[in-house]
Homo-oligomer: A and B are copies of this chain.
Amino acid sequence: MLAKPAKDRFFEDYAAGDVYEFGSIALDEAAIVEFGRRYDPQYLHVDPERAAEGPYGGLIASGWQTTATAMRLFVDNFLPDGASMGSPSVDELRWFVPVRPGDVLRIRVSVRSTRISSSKPDRGIVETQVETLNQRDEVVATMRAVNFMRRRA
């Protein structure tokens, strides 16, 4: 848990080396199929019968649902509220282990670096490694995120 509530957080409340865990969100078959139908309608994500015959031996969540779920936990627990200024990029998005119906996801956020923006000194840049884990403590996905945050006045 971060010390301050989201509305009181600014760039200065994040430090390299900090590690946090937040969760959890459960994904059932209906949620996986619903996301798949809207954003990633491959049979692997929307058709349990065909998926059972496919390379993963059953329905799996879209990788974009895994990242969106991680983002929800990241916003609800880690980011500042008013001081959040968006993100320019994510790097090294990796999906290691399929997410299946009944899985329960949480995230581990490690702050890699923090620095003040040289071009816009009202804000800082926080780089994090975000790992998504399941209920068996397997790391199912990782990404390197960058966030802009306003500095405390």
Contact = CB atoms under 8 A, between A and B. Distances in A.
Interface string A56-77: 1000101110011101100110
A55 B150 CA distance: 10
Interface residues of A, number: 39
A87 B95 contact: yes
B43 A75 contact: no
B68 A87 contact: no
B95 A88 contact: yes
A64 B92 CA distance: 15
Contacts of A84: 42-44
A41 B88 contact: no
Contacts of A148: 55
Contacts of A92: 89, 91
A10 to B, nearest CB: 14
